[in-house]
C-alpha cells in the first residue's frame, strides 16, 4: 500500500500554535537540563567516567590505593582529578585495554571540557546537558527529511522536550545522550544522500557514522537498519520480491559503510586484544531474569520516553500509565504501516527493528537481558517516538473531527505527563538510573551521623568505584580502610586508633566471621538494598 505524505495544516493557525507550544517547552527543557546538576548521587558509571578521562580507570585505581591503605574521602576523590604525568595518549590506551565496550569520542570531548572547567559533578554533567540540547535541531532536521513537514518537526520537538528519558540521559555523564544526537544526524544525512545521490552527501553520512561508531558500539544496529532501509526503498517491490541486483543507492550505502568499518579497525583491534575484559565486564547481560521481570522491564523502559515517576515494578500505578503508552506506540506503528509512504514506514520499521532484533535474538536463543538494559535499545525508543509524531501530525491535519480531537487530547496528555515527570525528576536526589548507588544518600546519612566512623571495604567487583560515589557524600573526616579483594583471606590485624563506629562495606560472610572472632565485636545489619550490604560493629 502506497501512503500519502503528510499534508500541510488546513488551519494556518495550527502550525503557529504547535510551534509556540514547542518553543515554550524547549525553554522548559533547557531549564530542566541545567537544574540541580549536583543534587543526585554521582553514581558508579559517572564516577568511572571521571577516572577514565583522568587516565586512572578501574584496575589502576584499585592497584594504587586498595592495598591495606587507610584513606579519607578526599584521597579517593583525588582520582577524579587530572595529574600532570598522565596525558591524552595514556587515557586512550588505558581506556582501550580496560573499557573497550565504550569507544572514546565522548570521553575525549569530556576530557577537554573538564581540563578547562574542572571535574566537579555539576561541571561534567553540564557538558552532557549541553550536548543533549543538540537533539532538537537534529530532530527537526530528521523530521523534515523524513516527513517533509514543518508541523511534524515542531510536534517532535514538543514531545522530546518533555521526554523524561532524554532528560535523564541528558544529565548523565555518559555518552548515550550525545550518541542519540549522532543517530539522528546520521539518519538525516542518510535520507539526504538517498534523495540527492551526491557523493558529498554520502561522504558526510560516512563521517557521521564513523563518529557515531567511535561513540557507541550500538551504532552497529543503526548501520544494519540503515542498510536494510536503503535496500527496501531502492526496490520498487515489497521485501519478498526484492530483485537480486542492487541499485545505485544500495551500492553507495554499502561502500560507505564498508569504509566506515575499515576506519573503525583501530578500535576493533582493541576489542580483539581486550576480548576477555570485554566478556568479563558484560557477562551480567547474559544472566536471564524471570520471564515476568523481563516483560516488566520492557514495559517500563519503552514507556519512559513519555512518562516516568521513578516507579518500581511493584507499583500498580506505574502500569496504569505505562500500558496506555505502550498501546499508543503500537497503534502509532500500525498507522504508520497502513497510511505512511514507503520511505516513512520502512525507515521507522528498520530503525526500530534492527536494534531490537540484534538485542532480542541473543536473549531468546542464548538467554540474557540485553533488550531490557534501558540504554541499549535507545534507537528503538526514538523510532517509536517518531511513529507517535507521525500519528499526531497526521491526525491533527485530518478533516475527520474525531481524529483531530483524539490527536489534540493525546498531544496534551503526553505534554502534561512529560512536564510532571521531568518536574519530579528535577527535584529528586536519586533516580532509577543511579542503579547500584541509588540509595547512597541514605547510606551516607547513616555513616555521617555516627561517631568517628571507619569504613572497611575491598577491591572486589564494582565496589571500589562505588566508594568514590559514596565519598562525594561523606564527611571529610571519615576514615576508610581499603583492602585488596579479600576472597577467603583475612589481612586486618589491627584497627586504626580513634575510631568508634565501624562499617563493613559489601564484605563476604567469611570475612565478617573472622572479623568478629579477631576483634571480639558483634556485627549487625546496618543498611541493605538489592546491591549493597553494610554491617555495623558493636
pLDDT digits (tens, 9 = 90+) for 82-130: 988 888 988 988 888 888 999 999 999 999 999 999 999 999 999 999 9
Considering the domain architecture, whether residues 411 and 520 belong to the same structural domain is answered as no
Sign (positive/negative) of CA torsion 164, 167, 172, 176?
positive
**Strands (DSSP E) along 207-349, which ranges?**
none
Q: Which of 88, 96, 4, 12 is nearest to 53 (CA)?
A: 88
Residue 106 lies inside a defined structural domain of this protein: no
Of 381, 415, 434, the residue that ends a domain is 434
Considering the domain architecture, whether residues 422 and 464 belong to the same structural domain is answered as no
Considering the domain architecture, whether residues 134 and 242 belong to the same structural domain is answered as yes
**What is the total count of domains within the chain?**
2
Considering the domain architecture, whether residues 177 and 209 belong to the same structural domain is answered as yes
Minimum mean pLDDT range among 160-169, 184-193, 249-258, 270-279: 270-279
Residue 534: strand pairing partners: 505, 527
The per-residue pLDDT of the chain, averaged, comes to: 93
Considering the domain architecture, whether residues 28 and 58 belong to the same structural domain is answered as no
Considering the domain architecture, whether residues 73 and 147 belong to the same structural domain is answered as no
Of 418, 434, 450, the residue that ends a domain is 434
Neighbours of 228 (CB within 10 A): 17
Q: In the prediction, which pLDDT does 197 show?
A: 79
Considering the domain architecture, whether residues 59 and 157 belong to the same structural domain is answered as no
User: Percentage of the chain with pLDDT > 90?
Assistant: 82
Q: In the prediction, which pLDDT does 239 show?
A: 45
Does the pLDDT at position 240 exceed 50?
no
Considering the domain architecture, whether residues 394 and 488 belong to the same structural domain is answered as no
Q: In the prediction, which pLDDT does 233 show?
A: 87
Q: In the prediction, which pLDDT does 2 show?
A: 56
Of 412, 434, 456, the residue that ends a domain is 434
Question: Would you give the distance in Å from CA 112 to the centre of its chain?
Answer: 21
Considering the domain architecture, whether residues 470 and 340 belong to the same structural domain is answered as no
Residue numbers of the domain that contains 488 = 52-101+439-537
Higher-scoring residue by pLDDT: 461, 179: 179
Considering the domain architecture, whether residues 23 and 69 belong to the same structural domain is answered as no
pTM of the model: 0.94
Q: In the prediction, which pLDDT does 244 show?
A: 46
Residue 117 lies inside a defined structural domain of this protein: no
Q: DSSP string covering 483-518, please?
A: ES--TT--------TT--EEEEES--HHHHHHHHHH
Residue 111 lies inside a defined structural domain of this protein: no
Residue written as cell 544525512?
Answer: 189
Amino acid at each position: 500500500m502506497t501512503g500519502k505524505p503528510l499534508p500541510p495544516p488546513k488551519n494556518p493557525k495550527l502550525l503557529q500554535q504547535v510551534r509556540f507550544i514547542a518553543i515554550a517547552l524547549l525553554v522548559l527543557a533547557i531549564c530542566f537540563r541545567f537544574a540541580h546538576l549536583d543534587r543526585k548521587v554521582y553514581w558508579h558509571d559517572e564516577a568511572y567516567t571521571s577516572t577514565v578521562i583522568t587516565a586512572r580507570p578501574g584496575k589502576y585505581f584499585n592497584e594504587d590505593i586498595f592495598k591495606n591503605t587507610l584513606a579519607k574521602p578526599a584521597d579517593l576523590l583525588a582520582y577524579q582529578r587530572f595529574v600532570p604525568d598522565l596525558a591524552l595518549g595514556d587515557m586512550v590506551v588505558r581506556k582501550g585495554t580496560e573499557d573497550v565496550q565504550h569507544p572514546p569520542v565522548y570521553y575525549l570531548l569530556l576530557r577537554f571540557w573538564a581540563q578547562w572547567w574542572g571535574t566537579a559533578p555539576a561541571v561534567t554533567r553540564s557538558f552532557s546537558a549541553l550536548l543533549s540540547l543538540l537533539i532538537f535541531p537534529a530532530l527537526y532536521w530528521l523530521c523534515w527529511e523524513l516527513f517533509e513537514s514543518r508541523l511534524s518537526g515542531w510536534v517532535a520537538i514538543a514531545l522530546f522536550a518533555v521526554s523524561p528519558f532524554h532528560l535523564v540521559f541528558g544529565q548523565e555523564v555518559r555518552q548515550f545522550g550525545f550518541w542519540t544526537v549522532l543517530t539522528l544526524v546520521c539518519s538525516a544525512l542518510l535520507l539526504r544522500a538517498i534523495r540527492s545521490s551526491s557523493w558529498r552527501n554520502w561522504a558526510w553520512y560516512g563521517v557521521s557514522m564513523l563518529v557515531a561508531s567511535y561513540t557507541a558500539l550500538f551504532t552497529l544496529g543503526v548501520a544494519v537498519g540503515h542498510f536494510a532501509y536503503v535496500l527496501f526503498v531502492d526496490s520498487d517491490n515489497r521485501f519478498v520480491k526484492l530483485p537480486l541486483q542492487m541499485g545505485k543507492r544500495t551500492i553507495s550505502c554499502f561502500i560507505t559503510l564498508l569504509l566506515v568499518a575499515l576506519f573503525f579497525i583501530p578500535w576493533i583491534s582493541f576489542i580483539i586484544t581486550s576480548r576477555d575484559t570485554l566478556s568479563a565486564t558484560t557477562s551480567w547481560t547474559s544472566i536471564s531474569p524471570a520471564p515476568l521481570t523481563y516483560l516488566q522491564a520492557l514495559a517500563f523502559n519503552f514507556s519512559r520516553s513519555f512518562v516516568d515517576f521513578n516507579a518500581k515494578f511493584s507499583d500498580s500505578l506505574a502500569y496504569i500509565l505505562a500500558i496506555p503508552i505502550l498501546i499508543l506506540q503500537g497503534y502509532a506503528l500500525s498507522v504508520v504501516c497502513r497510511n505512511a509512504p514507503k520511505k516513512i514506514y520502512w525507515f521507522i520499521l528498520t530503525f526500530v527493528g534492527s536494534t531490537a532484533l540484534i538485542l532480542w535474538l541473543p536473549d531468546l536463543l542464548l538467554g540474557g537481558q540485553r533488550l531490557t538494559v534501558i540504554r541499549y535499545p535507545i534507537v528503538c525508543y526514538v523510532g517509536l517516538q517518531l511513529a507517535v509524531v507521525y500519528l499526531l501530525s497526521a491526525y491533527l491535519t485530518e478533516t475527520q473531527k474525531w481524529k483531530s480531537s483524539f490527536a489534540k487530547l493525546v498531544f496534551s496528555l503526553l505534554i502534561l505527563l512529560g512536564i510532571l515527570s521531568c518536574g519530579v525528576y528535577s527535584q529528586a536526589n536519586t533516580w532509577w538510573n543511579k542503579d547500584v548507588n541509588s540509595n547512597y544518600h541514605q547510606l551516607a546519612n547513616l555513616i555521617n551521623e555516627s561517631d568517628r566512623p571507619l569504613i572497611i571495604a575491598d577491591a572486589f567487583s564494582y565496589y571500589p568505584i562505588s566508594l568514590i560515589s559514596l565519598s562525594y557524600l561523606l564527611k571529610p573526616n571519615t576514615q576508610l580502610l581499603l583492602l585488596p579483594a579479600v576472597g577467603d583471606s583475612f589481612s586486618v590485624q589491627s584497627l586504626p586508633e580513634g575510631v568508634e563506629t565501624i562499617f563493613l562495606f559489601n564484605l563476604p560472610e567469611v570475612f565478617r566471621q573472622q572479623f568478629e572472632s579477631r576483634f571480639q565485636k558483634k556485627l549487625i545489619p546496618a543498611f541493605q538494598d538489592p546491591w549493597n550490604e553494610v554491617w555495623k560493629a558493636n
